[in-house]
A and B are shown apart, each in its own frame.
Chain A
Amino acid sequence: MSNKTMQNSSSGAHGGMPKSSGGSGFFRWLAARWQENPVYSTGAVLIVMVIIQTFALGFDYPSFADWFSGWSRNWINILRNNASVGIVALGMAFVIISGGIDLAVGSTLVAVGAVMMVLINGNVNGPLTALGITGVPAFILGILAALLMGCLIGYLNGFLIARSKVPAFIATLGTMKICRSVTQQFMQTVGVKVPREFTAIANTKIGGEIILPVFYWLIIAAILVVVARKTPFGRHVYAIGSNERAARLSGINVERVKALVYVLSGLLVAVAAVINVARIGSMDYANAGSGYEMDAIAAVVVGGTSMSGGKGSIVGTVLGMLIIAVMNNLLNLIGVPPFLREAFKGLIVIVAVLLQKKDKLA
């Protein structure tokens, strides 16, 4: 044990590279940085990708202003298209740092979205419309109900995992199946129409661009950075993910913190559901949100968070999401067929974890 600590301290003191790692200089450097703080290397990778993407987009424009507007429109597109899954990924980061996993996010999104759409229904047969509540009050009630329901589904997961000790993978796999199937069954015969005014939540143009979802994403990310770093709850999540036993013996209410992590995840999924419904004005119960769990996990992992818990960051998760998004965009720009794009996503996740694995040796 003694020599391990010595290796640690010496590599820290000299900012040195791990002796055991192979590969070429750049990758060694990257792996070493990754160990110190994954956010830096994730950021570096992102910058490299943005440069490549910029070149792929080309400079074939009559003027700089034209080029810039094309470039930034492309960027706004990227950010907007990834805002909801980016928000879901933030919750996933907390879950994974606590040592768990939440597979239910995608179908929670559908369930929550469906309930909200029923409440804000523009058709005359909606339950709130029948009570004479329409317009903004109905929207507020609908959104509150959605957020509450997100929390409830999250709490159900959390309860199963923290109190009943069902493995997180299994518990959320169960709720994942339940949520989507029940939603599909009930919504079969219910016709809903999202009122035009509701879509303003996401589609109001600012400076001529639809950019609100991106703001929501960034604001929530900023809040969660503070939660993760500066609140006892945040520190407790890390502590539990790193050593649950020690956390309990430090007087931390492990069950409560774990349950809260899933509640947070559910809440953020509900926010994503509101944004999705407002963006599109409808919802495809069979497909909406499907794959969100995997995309969110991918973003978290690419962002340098360890699947075994205890390590990771919110900033990293945002960067991880952006890396995957830019990659998608890049593949699109250079004309890689859509079916193949998923393969690249898979590749980047594996590479990220390979870089992380080194960490175990130190």
Chain B
Amino acid sequence: MKVSMKGIVKSFGANNVLRQVDFSVEGGEICALLGENGAGKSTLMNILGGVLQPDEGTIELDGKKVSFHSPAQSLHAGIAFIHQELNLINDLRVYENMFIGREIRTPVGLINDQEERRQTEDLFRRLDIRIDPLSKVSLLDASYKQIVEIARALMMKASIIIMDEPTTSLTDPEIERVFDMLRTLKKQQVGVVFISHKLREVMEICDTYAVLRDGVLVSGGLVRDTSIPLISRDMVGHDVRTEPLEQNAGLGEEVLRLEDLTLEPYYRHISLQVRAGEVLGVTGLLGDGRSEVFRTVFGDMGKYQGQILIQGAPVRIRSTRQALKMGVAYMPRNRKENAIIKDMDILDNGTIVTLPRLTRMGLIRRRQQLKQFEAQRDHLQIKMGSPRDPIGSLSGGNQQKVVLAKWLMTHPRLLILDNPTQGVDVGAKEEIYDIILQLARSGVAVVVLSNEAQEIIRVCSRALVMYHGDVRAEIAGETMTEANIMRLATGG
């Protein structure tokens, strides 16, 4: 089957999200759809998936004009959209999930479990999937869930599958597993649209690519005819830097020291120290325990064994409030779940940490609140309208800066940044790196937790690589290479 979208135009209010975009994919092809956040990728695919309707333009299936008014219609035509947040029901078994909403019934009207199981087994055999159809979905790891979701799409006779950033929350071996699945799909003449930020994965798995920038298709073609730097340039519109940023050598006193910190089952025997003015990186794959180590330091994990010393003094950290008082700041990963308070405006989001310090006689001093926030806004160059606008009106990068702002207002001694550039586009990424280095120069001890080796190499002077709750190695200078980090992070 071949899908082609021609001259797609879509706008929300005055905002032109897609301008005359052509896009096509056919069976047996894995096509990468690339672009920064807000470039229009999701909108384009939501149109194909029947979630949104285009203002102009046509969609053709094998040359026949179609229009989708709901996801159900699009699915019926053979197009399945697998969203980033998976749509599986954790408490049900795999085969039950395969047929959810379209259960096979016995003549009496009860669910025909036997038939559902048989069909699931058949399909899994055909696709070489080694998952027990009887196991509960909650017991599967993220990649197998992804695979179940793909299998379900095939069960519904999908011949085009759209995958929205399928590898974001996966570890390397898990990614490989999903890729194997994609290769199988390709052999079965299924077409795949692969939305991703990770260019290396695109080079590995995709046949063709299309780059969107500001709602316009800027380039496309065969993946083997292009390269990562070329694609990145198309995405951003200018060259992207990858060399390490200049580090400042002048280190101050020790700010944080961990001695033999252990919290089973997350991590064990963690010892490290961070000095003022330093940017320490901690990296590894998902589930390596790095977030848990530093959430412990921030008082978010409860009881632990071992010793935490802040500025040389041993402390017991039991709550986030206490950590905050000691000058520890923690910018969590997964901004939407952990950092953004969606019902509050930009100003309140940006000052929620320091509110108790901005009061007189128990009442918040609005002018003071605004003044302090605006100072941070200017310093971090947050692009925003009124401070009273909803936080959701900002782009990912600017939301991240608001979160950063609320912590900088506390004048932290130790700043822990967990995946600081997650869901942030390339331009804003560079700005955040600059801010990190600037903070370090001003004497803050910074810890950057990241699963992107390039990010670690770019901003950190020294880094620890973790694997399943253990620190594998410390790397710096010569040993700080992507290959080395990958090897250590995968347990090699």
Contact = CB atoms under 8 A, between A and B. Distances in A.
Interface in A1-50: 1-14, 16
Contacts of A245: 337-338
B364 A250 contact: no
Contact of A231 (B332, B352, B359, B406): B359
Given A3-B52, A310-B343, A235 B321 contact: no
A230 interface: yes
B348 interface: yes
A287 interface: no
Given A249-B330, A249-B339, A231 B362 contact: yes
Contact of A246 (B38, B298, B340): B340
Contact of A248 (B52, B300, B389, B395): B300
Contacts of A14: 13
Nearest to B410: A251
Given A5-B392, A231-B359, A252-B352, A246 B338 contact: yes
A242 B17 contact: no
Interface string A218-246: 00000000100011100110110111011
Contacts of B355: 232, 235-236
A249 B14 CA distance: 36
Contacts of A11: 13
Interface in B287-304: 298, 300
Nearest to A1: B42
B344 A238 contact: yes
A9 B393 contact: yes
Contacts of B392: 4-5, 8
Interface of A is mostly: helix
A311 interface: yes
B203 interface: no
Contact of B321 (A3, A242, A252): A252
A247 interface: yes
Contacts of B37: 1-2
- On chain B, which size bracket covers the interface? 35 or more
A125 interface: no
Nearest to A310: B343
Nearest to A248: B320
B349 to A, nearest CB: 9
A12 B393 contact: yes
Contact of B363 (A10, A12, A16, A226): A226
Interface in A113-129: none
Nearest to B339: A246
Contacts of B38: 2
B324 interface: yes
Interface residues of A, number: 37
Contact of A243 (B320, B340, B390, B394): B340
B342 A253 contact: no
A251 B14 contact: no
Contacts of A12: 389-390, 393
Contacts of A251: 320-321, 323-324, 353
Contacts of B353: 250-251
A9 B17 CA distance: 13
A16 B13 contact: yes
A1 B84 CA distance: 11
Contacts, number: 120
Interface in B405-438: 406
A91 B230 CA distance: 60
A3 B46 contact: yes
Given A235-B364, A239-B352, A251-B353, A246 B341 contact: yes
Nearest to A242: B343
Contacts of A226: 363
Given A8-B390, A250-B406, A13 B42 contact: no
B321 A253 contact: yes
B104 to A, nearest CB: 33
A336 B330 CA distance: 60
A239 B344 CA distance: 7
Contact of B341 (A13, A16, A242): A242
B339 A238 contact: no
Contacts of B324: 251
Give the most central of A7, A231, A235, A249: most B CB within 10 Å: A249
A231 B389 contact: no
A6 B17 contact: yes
A248 B324 CA distance: 11
B167 interface: no
Nearest to A239: B341
Contacts of B15: 6, 9-10
A241 B341 CA distance: 9
Contact of B320 (A4, A13, A242, A249): A249
Contact of B14 (A3, A10, A246): A10
Interface in B325-362: 330, 332, 337-344, 348, 352-353, 355-356, 359, 362
B307 interface: no
A193 to B, nearest CB: 41
Interface in A138-165: none
Contact of B393 (A8, A230, A241): A8
B43 interface: yes
Contacts of B406: 250
B42 A253 contact: no
A231 B342 contact: no
Contacts of B323: 251
Contacts of A242: 341-344
Contacts of A236: 352, 355
A358 to B, nearest CB: 15
Interface in B1-56: 12-15, 17, 37-38, 40, 42-43, 46, 52
B274 to A, nearest CB: 20
A241 B348 CA distance: 14
A231 B348 CA distance: 12
Interface string B173-216: 00000000000000000000000000000000000000000000
A23 B362 CA distance: 45
A242 B337 CA distance: 10
A209 B319 CA distance: 53
A294 B18 CA distance: 49
Contacts of B343: 238, 241-242, 310-311
A359 to B, nearest CB: 10
Contacts of A241: 343
Nearest to A4: B392
Contacts of B395: 2, 5
Contact of A5 (B40, B320, B356, B393): B393
Given A7-B12, A238-B343, A232 B300 contact: no
Nearest to B41: A2
5 contacts: A3-B46, A243-B340, A243-B341, A247-B352, A250-B320
Given A7-B13, A10-B15, A248-B320, 16 more contacts: A2-B43, A3-B46, A9-B13, A10-B14, A11-B13, A13-B13, A231-B362, A232-B364, A235-B344, A236-B352, A243-B341, A245-B338, A249-B300, A250-B320, A251-B320, A253-B321
